[in-house]
A and B are shown apart, each in its own frame.
Chain A
Amino acid sequence: MHPTKKIYGGKIDWISVSIWTALCVIGWFNIRAAVFDPEHASLISLSTNYGKQFLYILVCILVASAILIIDGKFYNYISPILYGITLILLIVVLVIGRNVGGNQAWISIGTFRLQPSEFAKLGSCLLLARYLSSHSNKMPNLKTLLLGIFILLVPVVLIMLQPDTGSALTFFSLVFVFYREGYVAGQFLVFAFLCILLFIFTLLFSQWYIIGTLAILCALGTYLFRRSRKAISSAVLFFIVTSSFVLSVDFAYNHILQSHQRNRIDVILGKINDPRGQGYNLNQSKIAIGSGQLFGKGYLQGTQTKYNFVPEQSTDFIFCTVGEEWGFVGSMVVVLLYVALLLRTIQLAERQRSAFARIYGYGVASIFFFHFFINIGMTIGIVPVIGIPLPFLSYGGSSLLSFTMLLFILIKFDANRKGVV
């Protein structure tokens, strides 16, 4: 047997590993650019973010290696315990956590900080995969779906208590898992998409206009499909459902959302034009990225980056550095790398024989997709500012480690796919 096969139990997918390496390296270089201070330019200095990130990368290499060596079945067994641990950590952080930026999301251990919500994604993903896979021989039914949702709901609620809305929203991306496994129909995705549209329109225009438009649409539909017996009743049902949704959107917006969340939504919808105050992050981000043009300003030459105009430059807004210093070319390279990673992940998931591995794989892809799309979308102004990291690029030990673990566990399953997990 091939020596690596003996150790790892199969062939490692080097494509994924290469993409992972590329992203980590790009991330390191950009974090360095984001915090670069010519006075303290030493490469390996633990006082700087890029120094620390280097350390985290080393740790991840160790952990990744360990994951690849440990038997794949381990993860199936460990998933409930892991899930439980993450829940406990989520509770602990509410009690003794450090308050950073309004969120009580961090537990301090010495000079390092641990973010339980990142690991909760991993734990939930594994447990959900285990649960759904145990029912995979049956037809998808509502009870399983609800329990699956419940598995996700618990960490979501706990995370919302921090409150960290961004991380909590991540879990919604797992709808792709349910979709792929048949628990949710394709129409549901369409429906969700329409809801989002309706949400946006309700906020842009007065809710009564929307309801009025809906009424007209329903009347139109009834007329067009008047031959059908169910036309009127389904049209009326449609109208009631959508109108209630519209009203609830308004209610939720005004009474449930916090003011800073409202402001961020208003900024992205263009209802607020306040580049110095509310819209500052977004404006500076767009300026940084937009000024990169085709080839960017060059490494360490980004003026916006250098002068720290963009807040959260090395974490949530790391993409700005890419955009400013590497231009459209560099931005597209990064985007394509992520797309490659996503597609490869799906591909890996699809070629698994075990349902557990496949479901898990889709979970990984969903989570990566959500972070990728929302984070970059936020920096370029098509999504409201939601504070979540860009996987492997953003500075942060907890997120780097949890994303690495997410990926490499899948790679391990894939290496073992010829066997049984």
Chain B
Amino acid sequence: MNNSFFERKYVVQGIFIAAAFLLACRLFYLQLIDDSYLLSANQNVLRKITIYPARGVILDRHGKILVQNEPVYDLMVTPREVKPFDTLALCQLIGIDKEGFDKRFQKATNYSPYRASIFEKQLSAQTYARLQEKLFQFRGFYVQNRTVRSYPDSIAAQFLGYINEVTERDIERSKHFYSPGDYIGVSGVERAYEKLLRGQRGVQNLMVDAFNRPKGHFMDGKYDTLAVAGDGLVSSLDLDLQKLAEKFMKNKRGAVVAIEPSSGEILAFASTPSYDPNMMVGRERGNNYMKLLNDPNKPMFIRPIQAQYPPGSVFKVVSALVAQQAGMIDEHTRYHCPGGYSYGGGRGFMRCTHVHGTIDLADAIKGSCNTYFGSVYAKMLDQRKMKSSEAYVQWREAVMKFGINQQLGVDLPNEKPGFLPTADFYTKRYGNDRWTSAYNISNSIGQGEVEITTLQMANIMAIVANRGYYYRPHLIKSIGERKVIKKEFVEKIPVGVEQKYFEPVIEGMSRVVRYNANIRIPDVEMCGKTGTAQNPHGKNHSVFFAFAPRVNPKIAIAVFVENVGYGATYAAPIASMMVEQYLKDTISMSKAVQDRVLYESNLIEPEPQEKESVSAKTKTNNQASTAKSQREKTASNQTALLIDRWPDTNKQLQVHSSR
């Protein structure tokens, strides 16, 4: 009827067409011009699989495997893709209960419903095989390959260390180089050489279909990268020698370090009580770690470099060399030993083990005469035309050149430097600097405040073997394919004592071995020194260090066994057998002695009692302690504990006293 506005139909139609045109333009842009949506669409169906690299393998010096990699399998889940399934079947297959299942699933959902996360870690190969064929029933689950460390011979646990998954802190500290799920070395070589061992992650971009089945690589693998395996390491350890050391040291507390003097390579590095490194791998890791942590013998403590002991008589070797170099004595210098050294105008008397009579340097070494060395020390400090405290400074500097009171720079973390007090230490203690050798005469025989580690002891032997220098002791011989050696380890470090002064000392040490049936080795001239480090709260520590052969030495060794008595009783035979095995591939020690070493000492249940004075002394050892970890604190508490054991082996003391 009244259509007077009929022209408006064009406007309306025009508006409709314009709107449609607008839609068409936008569609054109979205679908044909902008590529990003295609990529995003792909992202929704893309599954990024991390290819974890094989961690570097560690071999011994002859190429035998110390630690290798074993495959394990992580079960991953993407919650949103999970369709209803038989949860009980899955639980049974992987060995968890329904509650555990719910907890894990909730955790994965909380992390992200759209992204994959770990449902159950480190399934064994058998579990994986059983699960694999049924995996299709469990939509949304898939398996990721991982590797874990495996130790075929279960030795050198402290040296090798262990690995763990990265924590938040690790990730932050590495500036997000690490991602959750990566492994990182926590202690030992695994930690020291982490950057080399860890390799490089690879990534695979897979397209998955509605059933989460991989359907091929995104863009034909254009964005995929390969994983790069970590560098392998060849350690300087001799697997057989290490095994022997751990066998002889079983059921004892202590450390053994053997070095090849011509290179500084550490041939054996035993810390006992030890543990099977395979305990720190796999699903029982957590429980085992707690067990080890709570073990009062602290098996994770790396005694060769973290236990600081008073060296005892073995220190006399250093004394002798330093005194000769200072010109205070020579090989012909004689002192008379009536059974002890008296000082301080008769107020002090340092007992000697025997009445030696008048002896020269070599004999003093052989007999381990406290009198002789007390006299030498007194001469070093008090008779040098300067204050004793100033002379002490010089004495101390000379001694420190032997690697004492400093970190040697071994390639393991948390090395302790030992302790040799400064002059100020005594000055503070006595209120003035007029103190003399009488105030710290115990230093002369390796007691008193002096503390060194077993590694330092072995190093001293290497120095003597080389007649005046050493190479920085290290545990890794070469790195990677190209057999790279770190340059600080090929540096020859002299100790400032001329070659000629070594001979009388070495002669004395040779006599020590020669005249003791339980130490000497047929056809090999070994030079060594026993020590019995006094322990005021328990049995003494048994110490022995040596090198062999005298000419062209091949091995320098230090053995420290806590709380077992005289050095010759345990430490020496152990060292002797190890050296003989290393040089001649045989052991000719009498069975009686072997049995004694292996079976007659068992110090696994100590009762730690911290006595105040010793702990106080340890607490003042705050020089040069650079590492700040919790283990550091444990280690220094440990030193206090070590000296304060009360083992119940009085019986044995009586039987094996005088050797």
Contacts and interface: CB of A to CB of B under 8 A. Distances in A.
A189 B8 CA distance: 12
Interface stretch (B35-43, B351-359, B418-426): B35-43
A9 interface: no
Nearest to B112: A276
B3 to A, nearest CB: 8
Interface string B11-50: 1110111011011101110111010111011101100000
Contacts of A186: 8, 11
B37 A180 contact: no
B210 interface: yes
B8 A373 contact: no
Contact of A304 (B3, B22, B41): B41
A242 interface: no
A323 B12 contact: no
Contacts of B34: 290
A286 B37 contact: yes
19 contacts: A136-B2, A137-B2, A180-B12, A182-B4, A283-B40, A286-B30, A287-B37, A287-B40, A289-B27, A291-B40, A303-B44, A303-B45, A328-B31, A328-B32, A343-B13, A343-B16, A346-B13, A354-B1, A380-B27
A327 interface: yes
Given A288-B41, A346-B12, A136 B1 contact: yes
A287 B41 contact: yes
A174 interface: no
Nearest to B81: A307
Interface of B: 1-6, 8-9, 11-13, 15-17, 19-20, 22-24, 26-28, 30-32, 34, 36-38, 40-42, 44-45, 210
A290 B37 contact: yes
A292 to B, nearest CB: 5
Contact of A290 (B6, B19, B38): B38
B414 to A, nearest CB: 44
A339 B20 contact: yes
A317 interface: no
A354 B3 CA distance: 10
Contacts of B13: 342-343, 346
Interface in A287-332: 287-294, 303-304, 306-307, 309, 323-324, 327-328, 331-332
Given A186-B11, A328-B28, A287 B44 contact: yes
B20 A180 contact: no
A323 B34 CA distance: 14
A342 B9 contact: no
A186 B15 CA distance: 12
Contacts of A307: 44-45, 210
A211 to B, nearest CB: 29
A290 B41 contact: yes
A186 B31 CA distance: 35
A176 B12 CA distance: 7
Nearest to B8: A180
Given A289-B30, A293-B32, A365-B16, 8 more contacts: A180-B5, A189-B15, A293-B38, A303-B41, A327-B31, A335-B24, A350-B6, A350-B9
A324 B45 CA distance: 14
Nearest to A292: B31
Nearest to A135: B2
A338 B20 contact: yes
A293 B30 CA distance: 8
A362 B45 contact: no
B20 A380 contact: no
Contacts of B23: 335, 373, 376-377, 380, 382
Nearest to A332: B24
Contacts of B30: 286, 289-290, 323, 380-381
Interface of A: 38, 136-137, 176, 179-182, 186, 189, 283, 286-294, 303-304, 306-307, 309, 323-324, 327-328, 331-332, 335-336, 338-339, 342-343, 346, 350, 353-355, 358, 362, 365, 369, 373, 376-377, 380-382
Contact of A323 (B9, B16, B27, B210): B27
Contacts of A136: 1-2
A380 B12 CA distance: 23
Specify which of A189, A287, A290 lies most central, judged by the most chain B CB atoms within 10 Å of its CB. Answer: A290
Nearest to B33: A290
Contacts of A292: 31
A353 B1 contact: yes
Contacts of A293: 31-32, 38
B38 A291 contact: yes
A30 to B, nearest CB: 16
A136 B23 CA distance: 35
9 closest A-B pairs (Cβ-Cβ)? A290-B37, A291-B41, A290-B30, A328-B31, A287-B40, A182-B5, A291-B38, A339-B20, A287-B37
Contacts of B9: 180, 346, 350
B116 to A, nearest CB: 15
Given A287-B44, A332-B27, A380-B30, A137 B1 contact: yes
A407 to B, nearest CB: 16
A189 B5 CA distance: 15
Contact of A339 (B17, B37, B38, B44): B17
A377 B23 CA distance: 7
Contacts of A353: 1
Nearest to A373: B19
Contacts of A332: 24, 27
Contacts of B42: 291, 303
A346 B8 CA distance: 11
Given A332-B24, A346-B13, A291 B8 contact: no
A26 to B, nearest CB: 16
A179 B5 CA distance: 9
Nearest to B32: A328
B8 A179 contact: yes
A335 B37 contact: no
Nearest to A140: B5
Given A186-B8, A335-B27, A355 B41 contact: no
B137 to A, nearest CB: 14
B65 to A, nearest CB: 46
A186 B210 CA distance: 53
Contacts of A38: 210
Contact of A294 (B6, B20, B32): B32
A290 B31 contact: yes
Contacts of A355: 1-2
Contacts of B37: 286-287, 289-291
A339 B21 CA distance: 10
B341 to A, nearest CB: 81
A306 B31 contact: no
A339 B13 CA distance: 9
Contacts of A380: 23, 26-27, 30
A176 B16 CA distance: 11
Given A287-B37, A304-B41, A328-B31, A181 B19 contact: no
Contacts of A373: 19-20, 23
B5 A181 contact: yes
A286 B45 CA distance: 16
A343 B19 CA distance: 13
Given A346-B9, A382-B22, A331 B27 contact: yes
A146 B20 CA distance: 31
Nearest to A345: B16
Contacts of B31: 289-290, 292-294, 323, 327-328, 331
Contacts of B4: 182
Contacts of A342: 13, 16
Contacts of B38: 290-291, 293
Nearest to B114: A276
Contacts of A358: 3
A334 to B, nearest CB: 10
B20 A362 contact: no
A136 B6 CA distance: 13
Contacts of A182: 4-5
A34 to B, nearest CB: 14
